[in-house]
């Protein structure tokens, strides 16, 4: 549970950082960023694998690059679901999702302990 909350806070901070860097992405408040992080996590956990499976032939043909477009689409989809989070078009969503992933990874590496990353603790 602690790891889930830590990851949720990290993703919320990453959303706030992305809104300052990418033009065309706006979040109304820190509370909205928290909701965006939760909804994005739920969509990535349940909807993304299904979309990846359906688009597998395209993904194989493009050597996985199509996955970036799927991530951008899901990022844009979250903006249509959550009030207080707005993205002006696909390209800001595309670049925002790339930046969000990089920032989230960087913050996770800095915050989450090595023991927490272990799949099978000793």
Q: What average pLDDT does range 79-107 have in this prediction? A: 94
Around Cβ 85, how many Cβ atoms within 10 Å? 23
Around Cβ 56, how many Cβ atoms within 10 Å? 11
pLDDT confidence of 57, banded at 50, 70, 90? Answer: very high
pLDDT in tens, 1-55: 788 888 899 999 999 999 999 999 999 999 999 999 999 999 999 999 999 999 9
Question: Average pLDDT over the chain, rounded to whole?
Answer: 91
> pLDDT at position 110, please?
87
> pLDDT at position 3, please?
81
Q: Which of these, 72, 68, 63, 67, lies nearest to 25 by C-alpha position?
A: 72
pLDDT at residue 73 above 70?
A: yes
Which uninterrupted H or E stretch holds 104?
A: helix 90-111
24: left (phi over 0), alpha (psi -120 to 50) or beta: left
Residue owning tokens 């959550």: 82
Q: And the tokens for 95?
A: 């670049």
CA distances from 61 to 55, 67, 68, 109 (A): 10, 11, 14, 32
**Above pLDDT 90, what percent of the chain?**
81
């Amino acid at each position: 549970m602690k790891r889930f909350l830590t990851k949720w806070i990290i993703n919320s901070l990453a959303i706030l950082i992305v809104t300052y860097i990418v033009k065309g992405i706006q979040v109304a408040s820190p509370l909205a960023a928290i909701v965006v992080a939760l909804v994005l996590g739920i969509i990535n956990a349940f909807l993304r694998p299904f979309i990846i499976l359906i688009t597998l032939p395209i993904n194989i043909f493009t050597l996985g690059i199509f996955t970036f477009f799927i991530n951008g689409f899901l990022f844009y989809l979250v903006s249509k679901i959550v009030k207080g989070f707005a993205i002006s078009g696909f390209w800001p969503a595309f670049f925002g999702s790339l930046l969000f992933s990089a920032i989230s990874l960087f913050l996770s590496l800095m915050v989450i302990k090595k023991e927490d990353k272990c799949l099978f603790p000793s």
